[in-house]
Amino acid sequence: MSGYVSDAVVRRLPAYYRHLRELETQGVTQISSQDLGDRMQLTPSQIRQDINSFGGFGRQGFGYPVKELREHIRKIMGLDQNHRMVVLGAGRVGRAIASHTGFAGEGFPVVALFDRDPERLAQSTAAVPVYLEGELEERLPAMDVRIGVLALPAEEAQEMLDRLYDLGIRAIWNFAPADLHCPRDMVVVNVHLSDTLQILSYRIHQMEEELSRR
């Protein structure tokens, strides 16, 4: 990666990757900043600025090489590596994450679930076993896990984050409805589902107000 990549560009990288992958499957080999901008709802100048911030691609009059650009973004995001995940909490959210086949295909396989309820051990499969939460310290070190997924009640999430940190996990995907405190050498990404619904509600309200003024 060359130069400084802003947080705004980092947030757009998954969309770049998704669109470029779709283009590649359609047999598109080159794309202009105008056409890519139309797909991503960005201006051509913003596309050029974003892409220039993480590498020199494209030739004036020829556009960007789709496969090369996608592969470069894939490396920037670390998708050329395998990020094994473990899910803490085998309730509905935890099971949904563990059974999502697309994650493994992107390099994020779920290798196990842990839960404090012994009855949930019956949900074990050959691909994704379920273990008791009390066995975490014993079993996790042998699993070569990079990401911990918290699918727990809010009151349990912070304690679990601390346990995972002590076991060497430095990346957390948090589905618990809680803002967690973490050390500086740990990364936490929060997925608060209610927040996205509230944003959707706001946008519906704004749209309705705009339509009423016409």
- Rounded to two decimals, the pTM is 0.82
What gap in Å lies between CA 147 and CA 25, rounded to an integer?
A: 29
Report, as an integer, the average pLDDT of 105-120: 95
For residue 211, is pLDDT > 60?
A: yes
Residue whose C-alpha is closest to residue 108's, from 84, 143, 75, 76: 84
The share of the chain scoring above pLDDT 90, in percent, equals 74
pLDDT digits (tens, 9 = 90+) for 153-183: 999 999 999 999 999 999 999 999 998 999 9
> For residue 139, what pLDDT band results from cuts at 50, 70 and 90?
very high
Q: Which domains does the chain have, with CATH numbers?
A: 7-76 (1.10.10.10), 85-195 (3.40.50.720)
Q: What is the pLDDT of residue 3?
A: 47
Residue the block writes with tokens 């202009």: 32
Contact 101, 128 (CB under 8 A): no
Neighbours of 176 (CB within 10 A): 24
What gap in Å lies between CA 208 and CA 201, rounded to an integer?
A: 11
What gap in Å lies between CA 50 and CA 151, rounded to an integer?
A: 34
What gap in Å lies between CA 104 and CA 111, rounded to an integer?
A: 10
